[in-house]
A and B are shown apart, each in its own frame.
Chain A
Amino acid sequence: MSTRHTVVIVDDHAMFRAGVRAELGDSVEVLAEAADVDEAVTAVLAHQPDVVLLDVHLPGGGGGEVIRRTHAKAGAVKFLALSVSDAAEDVIGTIRAGARGYVTKTITGTELIDAIGRVAAGDAVFSPRLAGFVLDAFAGTIEVAAVDEDLDRLTEREREVMRLIARGYSYKEVAAELFISIKTVETHMGSVLRKLQLSSRHELTRWASERRLL
């Protein structure tokens, strides 16, 4: 990586924050740490980092709350959810609030650095687990509030990409398997993320009218 990305670590366990900081080493610049929603909002607004590593379960209303409260004043900041919790609703909820990806806390240092780079570049980061959650969410097994079924359905191609990711394929392998370019894979992932994030009716309406569906 050519430039070092700036990062804020948000997690309510001090030991875990220290661990992540040590693991990231010099590859990124850690600007601040925060232990709850209020601290996190203050830190994000003050430092405007490239990427925020965000715990899903956070005192003060959960990780999603941080995204909602900083969204207006820190639009360029990207969020990567980092969690030990396996509750699908919470993970999907954080993604829907605006996080660009989700990785579990057992991720290795190099993988985490790679994921930070990807998120900073505006791409989505889907771990196999998240891909599984996404497929579940769109199949209706997980309850996700206010998903408009007709508009938010995944296309066949997007579903294929998600399934391959869930099977443990890397982006490159997905591209080779489906005979498409890596860029196209990234586009599909982006559109899956967008479909997940169209949360309120307003956004849905705007999205539809932009495409002249209304």
Chain B
Amino acid sequence: MSVPLTEARGDARAPRKAYRSPDEAILGGVAAGLAEHLGLPVLWVRVGFMALAVMGGFGVAFYAGLWMVLPSQRHFDDQAPGLAAAERQGKRPGRIRRLSDLGPLVATGAIALGVAVLFALVTGQGGLFWPVVLLVAGVALLWRQADEAQRERWLDSSGRINVVRSIVGVGGAASYLRLLLGGFLVVAAITLFSLASGDWAAARNVALAAILCFVGLGFIVGPWLFRLSSDLGEERAERIRSQERADVAAHLHDSVLQTLALIQKSAQDPATVARLARAQERDLRSWLFDSSGGDPTTFAAALRSIAGEVDDTYGVPVEVVCVGDPSVSEQLRPIVLATREAVVNAARHSGAGKVDVYAEAAPTGVEVFVRDRGAGFDPDAVAEDRHGVRDSIVERMRRHGGSAEIRSRPGEGTEVRLSQPLGSEQG
């Protein structure tokens, strides 16, 4: 098991907040979000809500309350710019809803309805039952649409707020259908309720009144909403545009153009050109795609920066693969330094075209393998007065309670295996 990335990155002092997680939602994502917050299996939370719902509808009210209050999780806030851009342009796989995903919803709904009907039959409160069911279904549909619209607003790259789109999103027919059906269900619930208590004419009047109420609300709030949103939208769009321009310009100016200039100057020297291109690629890649936010205190980042340095100095590409990513503590410092020494040795002496570094971090210890396919040497034949390998790698690891093992044969390359156990008794 390795250390979870997200926990290492988050600020430990900030209070944990609960979110709804619409990505795992069956209805509004409340249960999934709550389960994540409480550290419980989602199923338990869902069953709990259903049990509460059967007991006089408290679960439904509780769910609805949380749906209103909890903010929806924005999980692409801390994304690297390249990934965020790819997402906005639809180049990354999005959330895909298949028909089979609806299975649990249908099953849950059927069970809940059955239990509720049974409850109504047993207690004999038939009059109020159907209107309430319709009302809940209608409101759930409308809120669901509000969620979808909100999601699309986040993903919207134009940065403008459009009133129609802020309500229906770009979901097309499904959005309108959801809105219409939701509204219809609410009106039907009201009508049914009044029908149960009075005669048909009264019910019709109430239904008409409900519809008129909807339309009137639209007329009253609509223009105000429109003006507010267009002001907001313009301001936001302008701010986003200027920030983006500044970011991109600064970065391109600083690094890419410089490198291009250098490449033009040393166009006669293929090795230099390749090295410059690699260094620039590494830089851009980490800027665009590294979602660890360029935090230099993690183990993987430390190894990558070693790789970068060695590549710059010796012109040998170093490929780093890291599994698990703890932050660099005092305990890990020796293994990072020993890794550096091993990589430098490989780059300097082996003559190999590339060096592979593989690191695996587990709670019990960290292992690093540095491998090249270069000249190799006979470890037993290294002269006593040569300090590089013995002092800086083997001895260093041993002093700190770790170990180093060097496997090499002339002509077959070298592999250095470093391991550092992590325990409380180690200093």
Binding site for B on A (CB under 8 A): 12, 57-65, 84-87, 90, 93-94, 97, 106, 128-129, 131-132, 135-136, 139-141, 163, 166-169, 200-202
Contact = CB atoms under 8 A, between A and B. Distances in A.
Nearest to B95: A145
A168 B371 contact: yes
A132 B93 contact: no
Nearest to A136: B323
Contacts of B325: 141
B321 interface: yes
A201 B360 CA distance: 31
B322 A132 contact: yes
Contacts of B100: 200-202
Contacts of B281: 106
A139 B291 CA distance: 19
B401 interface: no
Contacts of B93: 61-65, 90, 93-94, 97
A141 B324 contact: yes
A58 B319 contact: no
- List the 4 closest pairs (A to B, CB-CB), nearest first: A168-B356, A132-B321, A62-B93, A57-B91
Contact of A128 (B5, B82, B321): B321
A59 B90 contact: yes
Given A61-B94, A65-B93, A140 B1 contact: yes
Contacts of A166: 321, 323, 358, 360
A17 to B, nearest CB: 16
B290 A128 contact: no
B321 A12 contact: no
B289 A87 contact: yes
A106 B317 CA distance: 11
B319 A136 contact: no
B324 A139 contact: yes
Contacts of B324: 136, 139, 141
Interface in B78-100: 80, 82-83, 86, 89-94, 98, 100
Contacts of A163: 358, 360
B77 to A, nearest CB: 16
A17 B1 CA distance: 39
Contacts of A201: 100
Given A90-B92, A132-B321, A139 B2 contact: yes
A132 B368 CA distance: 13
Given A94-B93, A167-B356, 5 more contacts: A57-B86, A58-B91, A59-B90, A90-B92, A200-B100
Contact of A87 (B4, B83, B358): B83
Contacts of A139: 1-2, 323-324
Nearest to A134: B323
Interface of B: 1-5, 80, 82-83, 86, 89-94, 98, 100, 281, 285, 289-291, 319, 321-325, 356, 358, 360, 369, 371, 415
Contact of B90 (A61, A106, A136): A61
A132 B291 contact: no
A213 B368 CA distance: 38
Contacts of B360: 135, 163, 166
A201 B281 CA distance: 40
Contacts of A85: 82-83, 86, 289
A87 B83 CA distance: 8
Q: Which of B83, B91, B324, B371 gathers most chain A CB within 10 Å?
A: B91
A72 B371 CA distance: 42
Contacts of B83: 85, 87, 90
Nearest to B85: A57
Nearest to B3: A141
B278 to A, nearest CB: 8
Contacts of B285: 84, 86
A141 B323 CA distance: 9
A85 B290 CA distance: 9
A62 B3 CA distance: 29
Contacts of A57: 86, 91-92
Given A87-B289, A141-B4, A167-B371, A129 B319 contact: yes
B198 to A, nearest CB: 49
B91 A168 contact: no
Contacts of B291: 87
16 contacts: A58-B91, A60-B91, A84-B289, A87-B83, A87-B289, A128-B358, A132-B321, A135-B323, A136-B2, A136-B323, A136-B324, A139-B324, A140-B1, A166-B321, A167-B415, A200-B98
A60 B122 CA distance: 53
Contacts of B1: 139-140
B91 A62 contact: yes
A129 B321 contact: yes
A102 to B, nearest CB: 13
A201 B356 CA distance: 37
A59 to B, nearest CB: 5
A63 B356 CA distance: 28
B89 A59 contact: yes
Nearest to B317: A106
A40 to B, nearest CB: 12
Q: Which of A90, A129, A141 gathers most chain B CB within 10 Å?
A: A141
B240 to A, nearest CB: 21
